[in-house]
Amino acid sequence: MADEAIFERINTIKKQLGPKLMILGHHYQRDTVIQFADERGDSFELSKKAANNRLAEYIVFCGVHFMAESADILTAPHQTVILPHLEAGCFMAEMADIDSVSAAWANLQQIRGQRGKIIPITYMNSEANLKAFCGEHGGAVCTSANAAKILRWAFTQGDTVFFFPDEHLGRNTAYGLGVALDEMAVWEALKVHGGNSPEKIQRAKVILWQGFCNVHQFFTPEYIEIYRRMHPGIKILVHPECPFEVVQKSDYNGSTGYIIKTIEAAAPGSKWAIGTEMSLVNRLQHEHPDKFILSLAPFTANCSTMIRTSPAYLLWALENIVAGTIQNQIRVPEDVAAKAIIALERMLSI
Ligand code: SF4
């Protein structure tokens, strides 16, 4: 089917379903998909918007799997959350699974004994059962926008933070709060004691799961130096999922929402190199033609799983709603959702 025919059919179904349908579009979705989104945002923002819209019976989440899970946890039982492409997972979220994290937790407790309480904190970009793990063990969820606030809280609850799955967000945030690099340990799941000596674990204030985003991981300090040489006066704006050295060399770092607001507030004629997912950088370029905006990557920094959702998949999901044959419904088991919501509510109350 030609693109125009797909677009027309999506619009027809949107009109037909009216307020019963809500399409959510993550900032990293391609423009041909985002044009149909009733709401755009980051993962948590979108889940909250879905939860606040009780009229919508069908929530089609154009994003990745963990986002649809969070939406299912936060929405009411009469709301059905659908992921148009079932293979749209998140590389980072899949780097930490409940069995490996539980094994690491048991090992950490054994090494630490009674000497110091550990608080587990999971990034929003994680499977629902890891959010449940944090709910069950006195921890919380964080987003890239509130990670500093959540870590500060965690240090009032215990002596050490066990942070997963993103090593870089954990390190960048903890360092910003004054934790020295040698007070952090990286936990490598397949190694004895995560690849650390028991003494290192005893001393650590932060234990970082060795996980990363396969988009943000590949920005380097060398690119920053090259861009600064090529474009004098350029400002470097990066996401805190980027490696420590990149964040340290940047001018500004912050969540997706922070990046968007920074560009919106920037002076006409200002120059920016942005270290985040390409679809968002492209959109910022189009929406701000009065500013000079580049991707910080000399490669195509697209999220290979976000990009799996195309208008054709969206249409397929919508046609199945109309036909009464729902496909790709994302359902978090009740017991997992009940514990995950504790960690999410803790985040909201902090
Ligand atoms: S950009 Fe990175 S963190 Fe975001 S969904 Fe893709 S792999 Fe996951």
pLDDT (tens digit, 9 = 90+) per residue, 185-224? Answer: 999 999 999 999 999 999 999 999 999 999 999 999 999 9
pLDDT tens digit sequence for 55-80: 999 999 999 999 999 999 999 999 99
pLDDT score for 116: 85
Helices (H), 86-146: 98-112, 128-136
- pLDDT mean over 231-248: 98
DSSP 66-90: HHHHHHHHHS-TT-EEE-S-TT---
pLDDT above 90 as % of the chain: 94
pLDDT score for 108: 96
Q: Is the pLDDT confidence value at 347 over 90?
A: yes
Q: Does 319 or 350 have the greater pLDDT score?
A: 319
Give me ligand 1 centre to Cα 307, in Å. 10
**Ligand 1 atom 8: residue of nearest CA:** 90
Best mutation site among 44, 65, 125 for ligand 1, i.e. most ligand atoms within 8 A of its Cβ?
125
Q: Is the pLDDT confidence value at 176 over 80?
A: yes
The DSSP H or E segment spanning 156 is: helix 147-157
Structure tokens at 53: 């819209």
pLDDT above 70 as % of the chain: 100
Which single residue is written with the structure tokens 């989440």? 61
Best mutation site among 303, 304, 307 for ligand 1, i.e. most ligand atoms within 8 A of its Cβ?
303
pLDDT band (50, 70, 90) for residue 335: very high
- What's the gap between Cα 104 and its chain centre? 22
- 139: DSSP letter: -
Give me ligand 1 centre to Cα 213, in Å. 5
pLDDT score for 114: 74
The DSSP H or E segment spanning 203 is: helix 198-203
pLDDT band (50, 70, 90) for residue 299: confident
Residue 210 and residue 284: Cα distance in Å, rounded? 31
Residue 160 and residue 332: Cα distance in Å, rounded? 29
- Amino acid identity for residue 216 in this structure: H
Strand, helix or coil for residue 165:
coil
Mention every residue, 6+ apart, whose C-beta is less than 8 A from residue 327.
82, 316, 317, 320
Structure tokens at 106: 């048991």
Structure tokens at 96: 């930490």
Q: Is the pLDDT confidence value at 8 over 90?
A: yes
Strand, helix or coil for residue 54:
coil
pLDDT score for 131: 98
pLDDT band (50, 70, 90) for residue 245: very high
pLDDT score for 320: 98
Residue 87 and residue 68: Cα distance in Å, rounded? 12
With a Cβ cut-off of 6 Å, ligand 1 is lined by 28, 64, 90-92, 125, 213-215, 277, 303, 305-306
Give me ligand 1 centre to Cα 92, in Å. 6
Per the CB < 8 A criterion, the answer to whether 270 and 292 are in contact is yes
Phi, psi at 121, each rounded to 5° = -125, 125
Residue 130 and residue 120: Cα distance in Å, rounded? 10
- Rounded (to 5) percent helix, strand, coil in the chain: 50, 15, 35
Distances in whole angstroms, Cα of residue 97 to Cα of each of 103, 138, 178: 10, 19, 29
C-alpha triplet 111, 117, 119: angle, nearest 5° = 105
**Ligand 1 atom 2: residue of nearest CA:** 213
Q: Is the pLDDT confidence value at 113 over 90?
A: no
Residue 318 and residue 9: Cα distance in Å, rounded? 9
Q: Is the pLDDT confidence value at 276 over 90?
A: yes
Order of strands, sheet of 39-41, starting from the edge strand that comes earlier in the sequence: 39-41, 21-26, 58-62, 80-82
For the entire predicted model, the pTM comes to 0.95
